[in-house]
Amino acid sequence: MTTLLGVPLPALYGQLLIGLINGSFYALLSLGLAVIFGLLRVINFAHGAQYMVGAFVAFLLLRFGAIGFWWALILAPLTVALVSAIIERTMLSRLYRLDHLYGLLFTFGLALILEGLFRHYWGAAGQPYPSPPELAGGTNLGFMFLPNYRGFVVVASLVVCIAVWALIEKTSLGATLRAATENPQLVQAFGVNVPLLLTLTYALGAGLAALAGVLAAPIYQVNPMMGTNLIIIVFAVVVIGGMGSIVGAIVSGYLLGILEGLTRVFYPEASNIVVFVIMAVVLLARPAGLFGKEA
């Protein structure tokens, strides 16, 4: 059997594919963070909690409403986006004038409250969520057994990432949005409702996190702490990609997923820190991140 550094090639392909799957989650989550930071300049620490709430909404819909995965894929992000919009309007928007630190502290506190609430009512061990029956089973690719659902996650996240990128970079709505963050007074003078735009942006970012949460529910346990475990890595991904760079967030999300997958084969003990090592190296070499513009 062909080997690379003592690892059989088929096993390596398997690990690369798994890296890509994990990268899909990193990309989706860091995308939302990058959108919020790029356009609102808010470091959204509640992102992990919004991801968790997305998964929980899907779980609650199934448990109490018998509403399945496909509807949850639409309803959960909408619910989280709506709640986040209300929070942005009533609370977060008051902090825009202040230092970034206040937004960070506010969203961090929000995350703690949300996680605490869900832990209180649903326990720390988490709740099960089944894969949609349409995607049950798996396909034998020769070098590995790929669960159909995981394949679906890769495709879905790629589609969403490209759609969001196109929305912000290629449409006139996106152009207005970017202009509004560049110079809010001027854009407002053109008759654009800037606060509404910002609210929608925050809702979009939160909705993306919730979407990732619904996608994650069948793979991981629906658990109040599921966001906390992921959010730190996702922050590192955003920093590596360049704070606020949407392309950077997507590309480095997939890239780091794959790199992490490879680490798990060659030196599994380091798989939790490899992302941070790369972050440190990137910050030393390019302080603005791989795709960031120097300020």
Partner 1 sequence: MKRFNAMSTTALSAVIAATLAAPAMAQEVSGDVVKIGILNDQSGVYADFGGRSSVAAARMAIADFGGTVLGKPIELVDADHQNKADIASNIAREWYDVQNVDAIMELTTSSVALAVQGLSREKGKITITTGAATTELTGKQCSPYGFHWAYDTHALAVGTGGALVKAGGDTWFFLTADYAFGYSLEEQTGNFVKANGGQVLGSVRHPLSTTDFSSFVLQAQSSGAKVVGMANAGLDTQNTIKAAAEFGLVQSGQQLAALLFTLAEVHGLGLDAAQGINLTEGWYWDQSDENRAFAERFQKEANVKPNMIHVGTYSAVLQYLKAVQAAGTDETKAVAAKLHELPVEDVFAKKGTVQANGRMVYDMYLFQVKAPGDSKGEWDYYNQVATVPGAEAYLPVDQSGCDTASFAAN
Give the dihedral sign, CA 96/102/103/106: negative
**Least CB distance to partner 1 at residue 145 (A):** 5
Closer residue to partner 1, CB minimum distance, 53 or 226: 226
Q: Are 211 and 32 in contact (CB under 8 A)?
A: no
How is residue 170 written in tokens? 């290629």
Q: Which is nearer to partner 1, 103 or 150 (CB)?
A: 150
Residue that is written with structure tokens 């996240």 in the block? 157
As a whole number of angstroms, the distance between CA 156 and CA 227 comes to: 20
Assess contact for 126 and 222: CB atoms under 8 A. yes
Query: Considering beta carbons, is residue 134 or 169 the nearer one to partner 1?
Result: 134
* Least spacing, CB of residue 216 vs partner 1, in Å: 9
Least distance to partner 1, CB of residue 194, Å: 38
User: Which residues, other chains included, contact 27 with Cβ-Cβ below 8 Å and sequence gap of 6+?
Assistant: 157, 161, 249, 250, 253, 254, 257
Kindly tell me which of 204 and 230 has the beta carbon lying closer to partner 1.
230
4 in helix, strand or coil? strand
Q: Which lies closer to partner 1 via its Cβ, residue 183 or residue 229?
A: 229
Contact 154, 24 (CB under 8 A): yes
Closest approach of partner 1 to the CB of residue 1, in Å: 11
Closer of 200 and 215 to partner 1 (Cβ): 215
Considering the complex, what minimum distance in angstroms separates the CB of residue 86 from partner 1?
27
Beta carbon of residue 6, minimum distance to partner 1 (angstroms, whole number): 13
Distance (Å, whole) CA 119 – CA 224: 6
Query: Which residues are at the interface with partner 1 (CB under 8 A)?
Result: 8, 11, 14-15, 18-19, 21-22, 116, 119, 123-128, 130-131, 138, 144-145, 147, 149-150, 219-221, 223, 225-226, 229-230, 261, 264-265, 268-269, 271-273
Cα distances (Å, whole numbers) of residue 186 to 35, 183, 244: 21, 6, 22
Closest approach, Cβ 146 to partner 1, in A, equals 9
Could you tell me the smallest distance in angstroms from the CB atom of residue 54 to partner 1?
A: 16
Q: Which is nearer to partner 1, 126 or 195 (CB)?
A: 126
Strands (E), the chain: 3-4, 7-8, 138-140, 145-147
Q: How far apart are CA 123 and CA 103, in angstroms?
A: 29
CA atoms within 13 A on the CB side of 89: 11
CA distance 83 to 146: 36
Q: Which is nearer to partner 1, 9 or 173 (CB)?
A: 9
